[in-house]
């Protein structure tokens, strides 16, 4: 049987050794592709509206209040290829044009909503990486679960057949409620890893952005405005995630995950890829 060679591009990407990192990287690559391709539907709608606006090339601007006896005049003239031809009075035509312009503006603004959703997803991938990583680590090296924490007799008896799985579950459930500061302290205490001050500060900024989106519907309180990075904007009181910010977030999250994975590979030299080698991670081009 002929051996299938991996694409040369695979050599340019650090895949790590833990299954947690593989899942983390694949999720980031999906987000990266969504950044590139997710706007196509919005662009299609905007182009449709552009086409309609060209049919309402009206030079005259505002025409004042409508008379009390005003009634819109709309008359279908004939069917043409791809649509219908109408005759309208000027006021009705202006109203339709303004409606189309308003819709186009709303459609263009949807990109910021997409970027916000992706920002939350990228941060979620980062948090999930830590939880999956330690779950994998504790199952491979259960002695790391040793601590001064207590369990009740009831818990011990109920899970006597697989105490390690129970203790691992308790730890990962606890990690799921950590703030970034608590998570970084937990990582430092358990595996002796710390991020640089600049990366740690950046992670706190990203967590603030994530919370504003996820818990406050993107509404920015006045006290938080001076804490926002310059790559995001605020319109009115609502946060707008830009592509520049999202690209930067993706880059720093990827680097932080890679730093942790390389530390784990160095600290636990016995760490090998998990049982499942059949995954087919796809890469961005």
Token pair recorded at residue 12: 């340019």
Q: How many CB atoms lie within 10 A of CB 241?
A: 25
Per mean pLDDT, which of 150-164, 183-197, 261-275 is the most reliable?
A: 183-197
- Kindly report the backbone phi and psi dihedral angles of residue 64, in degrees, each rounded to the nearest multiple of 5, phi listed first: 80, -175
DSSP string, 126-159: HHHHHHHHHHHHHHH-GGGG--S----HHHHHHT
User: Which pLDDT score is estimated for 3?
Assistant: 55
Does the pLDDT value for residue 182 go beyond 50?
yes
What length is written for the chain? 285
Asked if 25 contacts 16 with a C-beta cutoff of 8 angstroms, the reply is: yes
Task: State the pLDDT confidence band at 61, using cuts at 50, 70 and 90.
Answer: low
Calculate mean pLDDT across residues 109-113.
90
Residue pLDDT, tens place only, 76-105 = 777 777 677 878 888 888 888 888 889 988
**If phi over 0 gives left and psi between -120 and 50 gives alpha, with beta otherwise, what is residue 64?**
left
Cα 220 to Cα 174: distance, rounded to the nearest angstrom: 29
Give dist(CA 258, CA 248) in Å, integer. 15
């Amino acid at each position: 049987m002929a051996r299938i060679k991996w694409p040369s591009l695979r050599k340019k990407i650090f895949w790590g050794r833990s299954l947690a990192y593989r899942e983390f990287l694949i999720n980031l690559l999906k987000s990266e592709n969504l950044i590139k391709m997710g706007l196509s539907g919005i662009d299609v709608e905007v182009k449709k509206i552009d086409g309609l606006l060209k049919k309402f090339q009206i030079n005259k601007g505002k025409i004042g209040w409508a008379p009390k006896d005003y009634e819109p005049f709309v008359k279908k003239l004939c069917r043409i290829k791809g649509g219908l031809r109408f005759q309208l009075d000027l006021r009705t035509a202006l109203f339709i044009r303004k409606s189309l312009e308003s819709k186009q503006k709303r459609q263009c603004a949807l990109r910021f909503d997409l970027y916000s959703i992706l920002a939350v997803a990228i941060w979620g991938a980062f948090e999930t990486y830590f939880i999956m990583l330690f779950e994998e680590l504790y199952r491979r090296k259960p002695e790391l679960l040793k601590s001064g924490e207590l369990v009740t007799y009831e818990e011990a008896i109920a899970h006597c057949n697989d105490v390690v799985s129970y203790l691992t579950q308790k730890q990962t459930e606890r990690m799921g409620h950590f703030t970034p500061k608590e998570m970084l302290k937990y990582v430092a205490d358990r595996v002796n890893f710390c991020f640089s001050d600049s990366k740690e500060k950046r992670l706190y900024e990203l967590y603030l952005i994530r919370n504003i989106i996820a818990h406050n519907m993107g509404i920015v309180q006045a006290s938080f405005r001076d804490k926002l990075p310059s790559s995001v904007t605020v319109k009115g009181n609502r946060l707008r995630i830009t592509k520049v910010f999202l690209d930067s977030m993706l880059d720093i999250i990827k680097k932080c995950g890679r730093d942790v994975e390389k530390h784990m590979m160095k600290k636990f030299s016995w760490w090998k890829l998990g049982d499942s080698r059949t995954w087919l991670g796809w890469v961005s081009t």
